Structure 1
Amino acid sequence: MIIDSHVHAGEYYRHFTTAFADQMMATTGMPPEALSAPEAKLIAEMDAAGVDRAFLLAFDVRRVEGFSVPNEFVAELCARHPDRFIGFASVDAATPGAADRLRHAITELGLSGLKTAPCYLRMSPADPRWYDVYETARELGIPVLVHTGYTPAKNADGRYFSPLLLEPVARDFPDLKIILAHLGTPWTGPCVELLARHPNLYADLSIFGSYRPPATVAGALAHARERGVLDRVLWGTDFPFATMTESVDRMARLTKDSEPWPDGSAPLTPEEYRAVMGGTAARLTGRPDLFTP
Structure 2
Amino acid sequence: MIIDFHTHAPERGEFKDYLDSMDENKIDMAVIHPLGESVEEICRSNDYVYSLVKQHPDRLMGFASVMPREPGAEKLLERYIKDYGFKGLKLHPPMQNFSPVDPLITPVLEKAIELDIPILFHTGPIYAQKATVAFGDPLLFDELAIRHPNLTFVMAHGNPLGYDPCIAAKHPKVYLDTTLRLAEITRVMPNIGELYLDLLRGDDKLIFGTDSNPSRTWRFKYNLEAIEKMNVPQESKEKILWKTAAKLLKLNL
Take 2:200 and 2:65, find their aligned partners in 1: how far apart are those partners? 31
Partner of 2:239: 275
Paired residues in the alignment total 249
Deviations along 1:42-91, one digit per CA (max 9) or x if unpaired, are: 2111111100011110113126xx84452121112112211111211011
Q: Which residue identity is paired with 2:195?
A: A
Identity %: 30
Deviation at 1:217, TM superposition (A): 6.3
**Residues 227, 249 of structure 1: alpha-carbon distance in 2 compared, 3 angstrom cutoff:** closer
Take 2:199 and 2:36, find their aligned partners in 1: how far apart are those partners? 36
Q: Which residue identity is paired with 1:116?
A: L
Whether 1:88 and 2:52 are equivalent positions in the alignment is no
Partner of 1:228: 201
Unaligned runs of 5+ in 2: none
Unaligned runs of 5+ in 1: 13-35, 255-266
- Higher gyration radius (CA): 1
Q: What TM-score, normalized to structure 2?
A: 0.91
Name the SS for the 1:212 alignment partner: helix
Whether 1:154 and 2:118 are equivalent positions in the alignment is no
Deviation at 1:189, TM superposition (A): 2.5
Take 1:190 and 1:132, find their aligned partners in 2: how far apart are those partners? 27
**Residues 198, 7 of structure 1: alpha-carbon distance in 2 compared, 3 angstrom cutoff:** same
Give runs of ≥4 in structure 1 deviating > 6 Å. Answer: none
Residue in structure 2 matching 1:44, options 13, 20, 42: 20
Query: Where does 1:107-146 land on structure 2 (aligned, <5 Å)?
Result: 107-146=82-121
Q: 8 Å contact 1:234–1:278 — kept in the other structure?
A: yes
Take 1:133 and 1:42, find their aligned partners in 2: how far apart are those partners? 31
Question: CA RMSD for the aligned pairs?
Answer: 2.0
Name the SS for the 1:92 alignment partner: coil
Take 1:112 and 1:227, find their aligned partners in 2: how far apart are those partners? 25
Q: 8 Å contact 2:7–2:30 — kept in the other structure?
A: yes
Take 1:198 and 1:143, find their aligned partners in 2: how far apart are those partners? 14
Q: Which residue identity is paired with 2:196?
A: H
Take 1:188 and 1:67, find their aligned partners in 2: how far apart are those partners? 34
Partner of 1:5: 5
Residue in structure 1 matching 2:184, options 211, 222, 232: 211
Name the SS for the 2:20 alignment partner: helix
Q: What TM-score, normalized to structure 1?
A: 0.79
Take 2:162 and 2:148, find their aligned partners in 1: how far apart are those partners? 23
Q: 8 Å contact 1:189–1:220 — kept in the other structure?
A: no
Q: Which residue identity is paired with 2:129?
A: K
